[in-house]
Amino acid sequence: MRGDEVDVARHQVERGVEEGREPLRGWGEAVFGFEAAGTVVEVGPGADPALAGARVVAMDMTGGAYAELLAAPAEAVTPVPDGLSAADAVAVAAQAATAACVLDQAGLGGGETVLIESAAGPVGGYLAQLARRRGVARVIGTAGGRAKLAKARERGFDEVVDHSEPGWQSRVPRGVDVVFECIGGTSARPLLDALTPGTGRMVVYGLISGDWPAVEPADLEPRGLSLVRATMAEVDGSRSEVLALAARGELTPLVDSALPLAEAAKAHQRFEDRLAAGKIILLP
C-alpha cells in the first residue's frame, strides 16, 4: 500500500503502554504509526484482488505506518468512499469510529444532556457531532485552557468547562444524563455529583491520565448511578458508516494540522505539549 498523501501521528500521551496495560500496545515494529490512508499497489495471496488500486484506510496495525509504502493485513483495510480525501479519511477512520462505538453503549434515547471530556480532541469532537445526530439535546464539554475551550465551542459544544482549573468538576452543570469519561484517575469521581440520580451513567472509554477512573461501586449504588466500561469490540463495524457520513458532508473531519513526514518529531512534540486540537496528519 502506498501512503499517497497521509500518515498519522499517533499520540502516546497515555502512559498505559507497559506490558498488559491498556490502551496502547507496545510498538511491534521499528517504524512508528498504526493508522494510514493510501492506495493499494499490490495484493497479497488470499486477499481480494479487487482491492488493487483501491483507496483505503488501514487501521490498528502493529506499526510501520510512518512510511511511503507499508504492508497492511487485509482485515485492517477499509475502502475510502469517493469524494473523501485521504487526509479526511484517516482523520475520521479511527476516532469517529471509536466515538460511534462508544455512543452505541451509552443507551441514548434522545433529549439527553451529556458531558464529554477532552472536547477539543478528535474523539471528543466526534462524540459531540454523532451525539447530536442521535438526538442529544445539550452537549457540555471539558478542555484545558482558553484556546481549546474556544475550539470546542466552535465545534458545536453548548457549554464548556476548563478541566485544567482546580475543582473544575463543581462547575459542571447538574442534571447530566451521561458522562463520557476518558481522563481517568481521581478526576472522575467528583463528576458523579453532576449525574442525575437514579439514571445517570458514566461511560468510560479511555485513560489519558494513565489510570482507570477511581470510582467504586459504593460511589454509585447509593445514588442509583452506573458505570459502563465501553468495549471497542464493534469499532470496525462503525468505520464504513463514519467514512460514508464524512463523504456525504454529514460529519466534519477534525484535523489539527498536516505536516511532512520528515517533521514527525514536530508532530509528536505538538501532541505532547497538548497543543493539538484534532488529528495530526503526516504527509509522506
Ligand X SMILES: NC(=O)c1ccc[n+]([C@@H]2O[C@H](COP(=O)([O-])OP(=O)(O)OC[C@H]3O[C@@H](n4cnc5c(N)ncnc54)[C@H](OP(=O)(O)O)[C@@H]3O)[C@@H](O)[C@H]2O)c1
Peptide bond into 284 cis (omega under 30): no
Count the Cβ atoms, other than its own, within 10 Å of residue 170.
11
Per CB under 6 A, does 209 bind ligand X? yes
95 binds ligand X (CB under 6 A): yes
* Residue 144 binds ligand X, judged by CB under 6 A: yes
Contact region with ligand X (CB under 6 A), list: 38-46, 188-196, 207-215, 238-246: 207-215
**Of the ranges 47-55, 69-77, 118-126, 237-245, which one interacts with ligand X (CB under 6 A)?**
118-126
Distance, in Å, from the CA atom of 117 to the CA atom of 137, rounded to the nearest integer, reads: 17
Nearest 10 degrees: CA dihedral of 64, 32, 231, 159?
A: -130
DSSP label of 169: G
Inter-residue contact 277 to 4 (CB < 8 Å): no
User: In the range 219-278, which residues lie near ligand X by CB under 6 A?
Assistant: 232, 274, 276
Q: Among residues 19 and 82, whose Cβ is nearest to ligand X?
A: 19
Among 6, 140, 208, 242, binds ligand X (CB under 6 A): 208
| Order of strands, sheet of 255-260, starting from the edge strand that comes earlier in the sequence | 77-79, 55-58, 36-39, 2-8, 279-283, 255-260
Site stretch for ligand X (CB under 6 A), options 133-141, 205-213, 219-227, 237-245: 205-213
Intra-chain end-to-end CA distance of the chain, in Å: 13
Binding residue for ligand X (CB under 6 A) from 5, 6, 7, 14? 14
Write down the least CB distance from residue 123 to ligand X, Å. Answer: 3
Closest CB to ligand X among 2 and 189?
A: 189
Confirm if 227 and 215 have CB atoms less than 8 A apart: yes
Interface contacts to ligand X, rule CB under 6 A: 13-14, 23, 94-95, 98, 118, 120-124, 143-144, 148, 182-183, 205-209, 232, 274, 276
